[in-house]
Amino acid sequence: MIVLVTGLLAFSGALLMLIAAVGLLRMPDFYTRMQAAAKAGTLGILLIVAATGITLGSISALLHAFLASLFFLLTAPVAAHLLGRAAYLSGIRPWVLEDELAGRYHPATHELRSSNAPTASAPGIDRVEETLS
């Protein structure tokens, strides 16, 4: 019974990671590829971690599995966000009709403005406006 459960967990996790790899190969631009790899890959590795933890079965194995899954849940979105931001700033345009981020990043400091309004009430905005002009 436990063998069946862990086998199903490991196999579905592996299938999800295969979906992530296929998405990485087939998606049209960098950002869609990135979200395919980040989300499907994370869920896949979580299922495999759960399968390993249940297979080994001991308290310390379950604790290892819990800590590993916590680690994956914390790091995968951070890595994807940093890489997406770096890619956008290095000039890779997303595969969209209208790029709503265009002009929001300051070209020199890479600070992000949230709105197009020139005089916003937020404290940090004025400084960005100064450096822009």
- Binding interface with other proteins (CB under 8 A): 3-4, 6-8, 10-11, 13-15, 17-18, 20-22, 24-25, 30, 33-34, 37-38, 41-42, 44-45, 48-49, 51-52, 55-56, 58, 60-61, 64-65, 67-68, 71-72, 75-76, 78-80, 82-87, 89-92, 108, 110
- Closest CB 58 distance from other proteins, rounded Å: 7
Closest CA to 95 of 35, 48, 30, 38: 30
Is the CB of residue 65 less than 8 Å from the CB of residue 52? yes
**40, 17 in Cβ contact below 8 A?**
yes
In angstroms, rounded to a whole number, what is the distance separating the alpha carbons of residues 123 and 125?
Answer: 6
**What's the min distance (Å) between Cβ of 119 and other proteins?**
27
Smallest gap from Cβ 103 to other proteins, in A, equals 16
**58 or 119: CB nearest other proteins:** 58
Chain mean position to CA 32: 11
Pick between residue 80 and residue 113 the one whose CB is nearest to other proteins: 80
Identify which of residues 92 and 102 has a Cβ nearer to other proteins in the complex. Answer: 92
- In the complex, least distance from residue 92 CB atom to other proteins, rounded to whole angstroms: 6
**Do residues 48 and 9 make contact, with C-beta atoms less than 8 angstroms apart?**
yes
Nearer to other proteins, 1 or 121 (CB): 1
Does the CA dihedral 58-43-88-132 come out positive or negative?
A: negative
Structure tokens at 22: 């296929």
